[in-house]
């Protein structure tokens, strides 16, 4: 179940290289230069603001609406369109992504990994993973067929680009561009691009409720006062946004340069929530030596990102949520060498740039529009994670109080 010879996530060698390079090139060209993808992210953020506003400050669980918004961005990249929340196949796609990701860390997932030949014959939740996997492949295949019927002049999305690439490379014997790889690449992007960013946003809102002094929801007298960025005057996200951005300003990724504190809070959320835990296991493709240790070809390697993002040699207070980790004494944003939630090296997260833009635009929009609070009578927040392939918060309800 968890080995695969197509797509990006679980391949290696020539296939991985071609598929990954192609996926990255397409995302880049769809994206940030011409602002298309950024515009899509802004549109989804604005939908989400509408949904939150409709809750009128009453307690609600933000999970479904956040997952839908984030999933729709990657759907726009790969399919060229978003789905309505009422669309049944969209709801099933979201369920499928969730089930396939979280199943792997369950006892059934572990049993399947250890005894695939045996488990294959028996009933159990692993059979549901096969069904969801087939559903995702069929959904993508339908989209591919629609694209083939409606051939766009200019490629608009990943499937358009991929179909053109298959035609372009059909006489090249070294080409790995074919329908199998196309479908799996799309599935990999849906899997990689949905739960990760939405779970990080869910943590971010929870931290804002837990640390109201960081959210900065106390009213300031001088609204447009220019903030002096410095460590000693604890800066707040909302105060900073208020001081720098006009209420009608469409928030873009470029604005992060004017919002060092907000940017630091997002980075600290990525560090502290550590959603991928120890990282993704990889296989060593040749005998090698690393820091004097010999590693044989075929050895399973775990990067242990956990040890890096909580390393006390690199972080002043590794076990405390502390945005100052990313600020210098003058309040300027500083990147940190040990900030590796997206991993590093050749297999570094393919969606890193996209995730950074999503997180910044969503978080800044939400904090500009609402103050997040616990429902009346609720005193405590559960900050423990649920153990899984992605570390997610326990389901929670919050109030989004319009500002």
Residue 388 C-beta: closest distance to ligand HEM, Å:
14
Q: Is 303 in the site for ligand HEM (CB under 6 A)?
A: yes
Task: Return d(Cα 141, Cα 255) in angstroms, integer.
Answer: 38
Q: Which is nearer to ligand HEM, 339 or 342 (CB)?
A: 342
Instruction: Count how many Cα atoms sit within 13 Å of the Cα of residue 304 in the half-sphere of its side chain.
Output: 6
Of the candidate residues 42, 72, 165, 197, the single one contacting ligand HEM (CB under 6 A):
197
Residue range at the interface with ligand HEM (CB under 6 A); choices 43-51, 193-201, 243-251, 320-328: 193-201
Of the candidate residues 80, 216, 323, 341, the single one contacting ligand HEM (CB under 6 A):
341
What's the residue count for the chain? 403
The percent of the chain in helix, strand and coil, each rounded to the nearest 5, is: 50, 5, 40
CB 341 within 8 A of CB 277: no
Q: Is 137 in the site for ligand HEM (CB under 6 A)?
A: no
Residue range at the interface with ligand HEM (CB under 6 A); choices 44-52, 84-92, 215-223, 274-282: 274-282
Q: Is 275 in the site for ligand HEM (CB under 6 A)?
A: yes
Of the candidate residues 343, 381, 385, 397, the single one contacting ligand HEM (CB under 6 A):
343
Q: Is 354 in the site for ligand HEM (CB under 6 A)?
A: yes
Q: Which is nearer to ligand HEM, 186 or 227 (CB)?
A: 186
CB 58 within 8 A of CB 403: no
Bridge partners of 300, per DSSP, are: 283
If phi > 0 it is left, if psi is from -120 to 50 it is alpha, else beta; for residue 80 that is left
Task: Return d(Cα 234, Cα 240) in angstroms, integer.
Answer: 11
Size of the site for ligand HEM (CB under 6 A): 27
Q: Which is nearer to ligand HEM, 8 or 49 (CB)?
A: 8
CB 83 within 8 A of CB 90: yes
Task: Return d(Cα 97, Cα 67) in angstroms, integer.
Answer: 11
Q: Binding site residues for heme, as ranges?
A: 349
Binding-site ranges for ligand HEM (CB under 6 A): 8-9, 20, 74, 188-189, 192-193, 196-197, 200, 275-276, 279-280, 282, 303, 341-343, 347-351, 354-355
């Amino acid at each position: 179940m968890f080995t695969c010879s197509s797509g990006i996530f679980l391949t290696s060698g020539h296939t991985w290289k071609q598929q990954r390079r192609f996926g990255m090139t397409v995302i880049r060209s769809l994206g940030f230069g011409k602002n298309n993808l950024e515009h899509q992210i802004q549109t989804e953020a604005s939908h989400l603001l509408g949904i939150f506003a409709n809750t009128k400050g009453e307690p609600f669980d933000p999970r479904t609406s956040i997952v839908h918004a984030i999933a729709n961005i990657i759907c726009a990249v790969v399919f060229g369109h978003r789905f309505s929340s009422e669309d049944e196949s969209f709801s099933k796609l979201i369920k499928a992504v969730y089930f396939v990701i979280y199943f792997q860390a369950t006892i059934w997932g572990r049993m399947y990994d250890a005894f695939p030949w045996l488990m294959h014959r028996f009933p159990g939740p692993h059979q549901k993973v096969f069904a969801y996997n087939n559903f995702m492949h069929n959904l993508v295949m339908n989209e591919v067929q629609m694209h083939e019927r409606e051939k766009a002049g200019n490629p608009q999305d990943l499937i358009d680009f991929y179909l053109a690439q298959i035609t372009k490379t059909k006489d090249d014997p070294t080409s790995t561009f074919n329908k199998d790889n196309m479908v799996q690449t799309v599935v990999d992007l849906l899997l990689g691009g949905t739960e990760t960013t939405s779970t990080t946003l869910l943590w971010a809102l929870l931290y804002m409720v837990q640390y109201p002094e960081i959210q900065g929801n106390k009213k300031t007298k001088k609204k447009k006062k220019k903030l002096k960025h410095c460590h000693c005057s604890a800066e707040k996200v909302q105060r900073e946004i208020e001081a720098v951005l006009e209420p009608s300003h469409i928030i873009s990724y470029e604005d992060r340069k004017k919002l060092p504190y907000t940017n630091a809070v997002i980075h600290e959320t990525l560090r502290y929530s550590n959603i991928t835990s120890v990282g993704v296991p990889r296989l060593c493709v040749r005998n090698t030596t690393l820091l004097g240790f010999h590693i044989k070809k075929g050895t399973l390697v775990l990067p242990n990102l956990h040890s890096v993002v909580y390393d006390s040699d690199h972080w002043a207070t590794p076990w405390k949520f502390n945005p100052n980790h990313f600020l210098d004494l003058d309040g300027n944003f500083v990147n940190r060498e040990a900030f590796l939630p997206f991993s590093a090296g050749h297999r570094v997260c393919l969606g890193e740039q996209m995730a950074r833009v999503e997180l910044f635009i969503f978080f800044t929009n939400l904090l500009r529009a609402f103050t997040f609070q616990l429902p009346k009578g609720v005193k405590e927040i559960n900050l423990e994670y649920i153990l899984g392939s992605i570390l997610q918060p326990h389901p929670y309800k919050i109030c989004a109080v319009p500002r």
